A and B are shown apart, each in its own frame.
Chain A
């Protein structure tokens, strides 16, 4: 944990042009932004099977030294263990608020994106299926896309979003964006 940040740290995500979906792109951007804000160099590498390479099955993941860490939460903790942190200046109440707003974004926006990508028939047909399976030959592209769709639908049903209509989801997104807008106000960043 005391080793310095190596120069060859890499971030893996899916293919940017043809394959990556909105939700995964968002997660990857978040990690890239975080590392940039900490002034840590990172090289972005695109691989078609990034999802399967990741230790937790989720993208993005970073390869630093001889360690592989995936998803924003664990990456932030990992970077903190190396001595870089963006939230040192916050007091306890602000840290609580920060975590709460992060969960709001995860809970509402990410779930809404997943819903739009995988449960809205129009989007699924036009964009998601085609993009998700694009690096693979037939019939693998269809099988993987259907499998992923089934997984996401199961998850939506478990958290109670299975019966939501598109309008309700959009209303939730609107509410979430309003909340974030209120919190940001006219400041350049959320906490200063």
Chain B
């Protein structure tokens, strides 16, 4: 318990502690469960690998992938699902599967595949945080990885063409957002008054979609119409991620620098 827990992840922007969904899931869970996490934002150094981020390092363990990291934290007694019944635990798994199947492809598409978004927002943001010359290679590789994942899981043989798949994945994502909104209703969190794993996952996937300014915004527009989901994201940001003054200044400078580029 005394061993320091360090999380390496992508940094923040647009009011978010991180713009990378999976990093955000882990950060949110850590806040909810009270785990003392030292966040190491990946910046312009050569240190560390970037492929598997987020990565949790302790004295003798290196854990990657959000699901494994959350499991590890639970074993260390940082459990945000303590008060959930068994059925609610089962619901959590089911809704996470729903998000990964239905929402994730469209989020990946919005960030990494839609050319206007990718070239004006995503690529410059990530490239500015990766040292040259990796900055020329890594964003492209991440984009191809996202496209691959979309086509392999949703594309239909023998064509595997993006056009046919795009309409379907956005339809599915909008339906998923509607379902999440229906499930949340007017409660503060998905299972009562305290946040749990499911809240961390929903926040992790929804917050970047909600906050990042994109040119092509069809999914974002749909999300903004679901006011309870927007309120959910804002509540968590205000309660758990209120930036200290120092961080505020740093973010402001980062933002102005980014605007100048």
Contacts and interface: CB of A to CB of B under 8 A. Distances in A.
Interface of A: 56-58, 92-93, 95-97, 99-101, 103-104, 106-108, 154-155, 158-160, 175-176, 178-180, 182-183, 185
Contacts of A176: 93
Given A57-B158, A107-B100, A175-B93, 8 more contacts: A58-B156, A93-B183, A100-B95, A103-B94, A106-B101, A155-B153, A179-B93, A182-B87
A158 B152 contact: yes
Please report whether the interface of chain A is mostly helix, strand, loop or mixed according to DSSP. Answer: helix
A56 B154 CA distance: 11
Contact of A104 (B94, B179, B185): B94
Contacts of A92: 182
B153 A100 contact: no
A103 B93 contact: no
Contact of B102 (A57, A103, A179): A103
B149 interface: yes
Given A100-B179, A103-B94, A176-B93, A158 B148 contact: yes
A161 to B, nearest CB: 11
Interface string B79-98: 00000001101110111011
Contact of B153 (A103, A159, A175): A159
Contact of A182 (B86, B156, B183): B86
B157 interface: yes
Interface of B: 65, 86-87, 89-91, 93-95, 97-98, 100-102, 145, 148-149, 152-153, 156-158, 179-180, 182-183, 185
Contacts of A183: 87, 90-91, 94
Given A158-B152, A160-B65, A97 B93 contact: no
Given A107-B101, A159-B149, A182-B86, A100 B94 contact: yes
Interface centre among B91, B97, B185 (most CB of A within 10 A): B97
Contacts of B180: 96
Contacts of A56: 156-157
A92 B145 CA distance: 35
Nearest to A155: B152
22 contacts: A58-B156, A93-B183, A96-B180, A96-B183, A97-B183, A100-B91, A100-B94, A100-B97, A103-B100, A104-B93, A104-B94, A106-B101, A154-B152, A158-B148, A159-B149, A159-B152, A175-B93, A176-B93, A178-B90, A179-B90, A179-B94, A183-B94
Contacts of B91: 97, 100, 183
A108 B86 contact: no
A180 B145 CA distance: 32
Contact of A99 (B86, B100, B145, B179): B179
Closest 10 pairs between A and B when the two form their complex, measured CB to CB? A179-B90, A100-B94, A96-B179, A104-B97, A107-B97, A182-B90, A100-B98, A104-B94, A57-B157, A103-B98
Contacts of A159: 149, 152-153
B89 A99 contact: no
Nearest to B179: A96
A108 B97 contact: yes
Contacts of B149: 158-159
Interface centre among A56, A106, A108, A160 (most CB of B within 10 A): A160
Interface centre among B65, B89, B152, B153 (most CB of A within 10 A): B152
Contacts of A101: 94
B75 to A, nearest CB: 13
Contact of A103 (B90, B97, B152, B183): B97
Contacts of A58: 156
A158 B182 contact: no
Contacts of B148: 158
Contacts of A99: 98, 179
A103 to B, nearest CB: 4
A106 B158 contact: no
A152 to B, nearest CB: 10
A160 B94 CA distance: 18
Contacts of A57: 156-158
